[in-house]
Structure 1
Amino acid sequence: MFEVAVCMNFSAAHNLKGYKGKCEVLHGHNWKVELSLRSEHMDGVGMVEDFSVIKEKLKSCLSLFDHKYLNCLPYFKKANPTSENIAKLIYAKMKERLEDGPAIVRSVKVWETENSCATYYEP
């Protein structure tokens, strides 16, 4: 089994409803997203998937979040835009974007700060 990963960043604001603390008020982050893919096979060139293809699809996905107030996005009308929920949403969107490719999404890790992240994956 092979695993490859790419990282990209986006900037966005959010606040956490029902949270008692500083994150309940509007604030922003420079988020980092790590997308990991896995495959049992490589192509004829010896790649799981071309990094440029993965990056382009991830960039397209993250454009939905970049420089946005995350609470206004439809998905976050019912769920708080926590790192955990953002990772889950990006996982679902990337799974759709890569469904016809040779690799499958293994996990999405979302870094809210340099020292704090959440990972979403499915068994």
Structure 2
Amino acid sequence: MTHRIRVRHNFETAHRLPHLGGKCHSLHGHSWWAEVVVEAEELSADQTIVEFGPFKKELRAFIDAHLDHGAMLGADDPLAPLLAAHGSKVYLFGQAPYVRDLPHPTVEAVAVLLARASEAILDGRERAAGARVGRVRVTETHVNAAEYVPGDGRRDPSLRRAAS
């Protein structure tokens, strides 16, 4: 039997995808929703997968500090230094922790980012044996969403806690 918990959080963030062309070439924003599912085959001795409060607080703090009311851009995007020079919050895909291998802030890449950040947060928490991120769903509009389901349950060594 698999046990699951879900944590949801919303954030307002701009991004642009010049590599795709079309209307997403322009800087634009979304009211994003993230849902992170943590799962384990067995509960811990205190009958939890991970304690909601601390996990939720740290995940929301990551999102709020790095993404909310900012811009997600590729590290090579010419808008990145301009926005940063004017005091805007910019999270650089292709450079920032958890996304060095993901050059563009597509909704799919944002789902991977949040899975990796969530896994790192789990690393710092008391949790049930084998507890892991089972699924991340990121919704960027009412009709567009992406889901990321990490591999077969084996930990990717590249997902060790990165400086945020």
Same fold flag (TM > 0.5): yes
CA distance in 2 between partners of 1:65 and 1:76 (Å): 15
* Residue of structure 2 equivalent to 1:54: 55
SS at match of 2:17: coil
* Residue of structure 1 equivalent to 2:93: 75
CA distance in 2 between partners of 1:14 and 1:116 (Å): 15
- State the number of aligned residues: 123
Identify, as 1 or 2, the structure richer in strand: 1
Unmatched segments (≥5 aa) in structure 2: 74-89, 96-101, 152-164
Q: Aligned runs of 1:1-123 on 2, under 5 Å?
A: 1-63=2-64, 64-71=66-73, 72-76=90-94, 79-100=103-124, 101-102=126-127, 103-123=131-151
CA distance in 2 between partners of 1:16 and 1:118 (Å): 16
Deviations 1:32-88 (A, max 9, x none): 000000012223443222222221121122121111111142324661111000111
Deviations 1:73-121 (A, max 9, x none): 2324661111000111111111111124322111111101122110112
* Residue of structure 1 equivalent to 2:77: none
Does the CA-based 8 Å contact 1:11-1:29 persist in structure 2? Answer: yes
Question: In terms of mean alpha carbon deviation, does 21-30 or 43-52 score higher?
Answer: 43-52
Q: Could you tell me the percent identity over the aligned residues? A: 28
Normalized against structure 2, the TM-score is what? Answer: 0.68
SS at match of 2:150: coil
Does the CA-based 8 Å contact 1:70-1:76 persist in structure 2? Answer: no
Normalized against structure 1, the TM-score is what? Answer: 0.89
Q: Which has the larger radius of gyration?
A: 2
Aligned residues: CA RMSD:
1.7
Task: Give 1:95's aligned amino acid.
Answer: E
Instruction: Tell me: higher relative CO, structure 1 or 2? Use CA pairs within 8 A at least 6 residues apart.
Output: 1
Could you list the structure 1 runs, at least 4 aligned residues long, displaced by more than 4 angstroms after superposition: none
